Amino acid sequence: MKNKNRLGIGMLLSILVLLIFIPLITSFSGNNSGYSIPIGYEGIGTGVGESIGGVSVPIKKFNVDRDLLRAELKQGETKKDSLVITNEGETILAFSINVIGLEDMILVMENDFVLLPGESKEITVYLSASENQPIKLYTGKLLVTANYEMKLIAVILDVTKKKPLFDINAKVHNVTKKVLKGEDVEADITMINVGDFKEIDVTLHYAVRDLDGNTINFREETMAVKEKLSIARRLRLPEDIDYGTYLFYAEVRYGKEKAMSTDVFEVVEVKPVVEVRRFARILDFRNYILIMLLTIICILLGTIAYKSSRIFMFRFRYNELKRETASLSERKLEIKRKFRQLRSVEEGINIERFNTLLLNIISNVKENRVDEETISRYNKLVDIYNKIRPSKIRRKDKLELYRRVVWIRKYLMRYIE
């Protein structure tokens, strides 16, 4: 009973701590939904219908499902991507797609086409790097125009070596995916030595860049990498930086070999409340201590609850085995009792058969009729006596049976002689 109370108290405390702890932890969780981040490019026309001289002008408006095309390409590799363009206006639109800045690396399968109102079309785009393509980050744009309406789609291509000596991955922290001017943007950088596993010194270059490839801020460090190295680095954004989407660029160099990786983040005018709270908690070191204490408390309570449950289950199983043992003992005694009853019945039957044979033999002797049948009955009488002799009947009864057998034998022997 004491262990049950301890288990109940431990579980109750664990639930109370988790009810306090989980909201704090969940506030740190980020959105891992990939790269669906607004780029900040908007169409140059409003697409709102106008009235000229009392005549209504049809609305001209279209939508592109992607604001950013991004791919990592090895030298000599080609990847397929697509855009979906929808005519959301009230009139037929003639579309044209032009590549800006990456003409040799982007192939649009259908540059010119027409869409009716409400119609959509998927446009296939091939992104490729030649065998001798220089290893670096390439940025460009796709310009989609339709009857003087325009939209810009940003394109980012990371070209890496076909058989790289190093691999690198940069991932911006979720809490800094949207930052204010003058704040820090922080990223986790992982470098992997996929070539020789001996420790070598590499140069790490990380920077904040805009979508045109211009560097806003950067740093360089030299460090040793053996197999794998993961670090976190941050860069401060200028106070006069423009709002929009930017790249956190990381590059590792070893001699003439280099590898690069990028991730996107957004500079915003006002942070969502949840983001501000996350960032404030990250900066407050006291929350780290609180999290550690709560974690330790949860572990201790969980350990107590686990041990208490183990003890409870052990005792429960012990009592079950004890009850089963008692039940088996009772069954064993019952079987012995029934066996004794059966033996008693068998002994009674043998004694009855013995007496019957004895009377038959005595009857034959009185009639002076001793033949083979009488001798056979005598032999059966001896066999029954031999069965009764090891039984647990009274000694007096055994002696009486023995005297009768001896008497009959003597009489038969005199008769035979």
Per residue in 10-54, pLDDT (tens digit) is 555 555 555 555 544 444 444 443 333 333 333 334 444 444 455
Cβ pair 186, 98 in contact under 8 A: no
Residue 164, both tokens: 């790289």
Of 189, 103, 96, 111, whose CA–CA distance to 147 is shortest? 96
Give the Cβ contact number of residue 368 at 10 Å: 7
Give the pLDDT mean for 352-363. Answer: 78
Q: What is the pLDDT of residue 315?
A: 87
Of 126, 139, 118, whose CA–CA distance to 58 is shortest? 118
DSSP 410: H
Could you tell me the pLDDT band of residue 56, with boundaries at 50, 70 and 90?
low
Cα–Cα distance, 74 to 39 (Å, whole number): 25
Q: What are the φ/ψ torsions at residue 181 (nearest 5 degrees)?
A: -60, 140
List Cβ neighbours of 311 (8 Å cut-off, separation of 6 or more): 3
**For 336-346, what is each residue's pLDDT tens digit?**
776 666 666 66
Q: Does residue 158 carry a pLDDT above 50? A: yes
Give the pLDDT mean for 346-362. Answer: 76
Give the Cβ contact number of residue 101 at 10 Å: 15
Cα 115 to Cα 110, 118, 122: the distances in Å are 13, 8, 11
Pick the CATH number of 37-163 from 3.50.30.10, 2.60.40.10, 3.40.718.10, 3.40.50.10210: 2.60.40.10
Express as a percent the part of the chain with pLDDT over 90: 32
Burial class (CB in 10 A: 0-12, 13-18, 19+), 268: middle
Give the pLDDT mean for 214-241. Answer: 92
Residue 370, both tokens: 């001793």
Query: What DSSP assignment string belongs to 240-287?
Result: TPPSEEEEEEEEEEETTEEEEEEEEEEE-SS--HHHHHHHHHHH-HHH
Could you tell me the pLDDT band of residue 318, with boundaries at 50, 70 and 90?
confident
Q: What is the pLDDT of residue 144?
A: 94
Look at the pTM and tell me if it is higher than 0.75.
Answer: no
> Domain spans of the chain?
37-163, 320-416
List Cβ neighbours of 348 (8 Å cut-off, separation of 6 or more): none
Cα–Cα distance, 99 to 127 (Å, whole number): 12
Residue 27, both tokens: 């506030």
Q: Residue 347 region, left (φ>0) first, then alpha (ψ -120 to 50), else beta?
A: alpha
Q: What is the pLDDT of residue 6?
A: 52
Q: b vs e for 238-253, b when ≥16 Cβ sit within 10 Å of the residue's Cβ?
A: eeebeeebbbbbbbbb
Of 250, 40, 85, whose CA–CA distance to 160 is shortest? 250
Instruction: Please tell me the least confidently modeled range out of 38-42, 277-281, 383-387.
Output: 38-42
Q: Does residue 244 carry a pLDDT above 70? A: yes
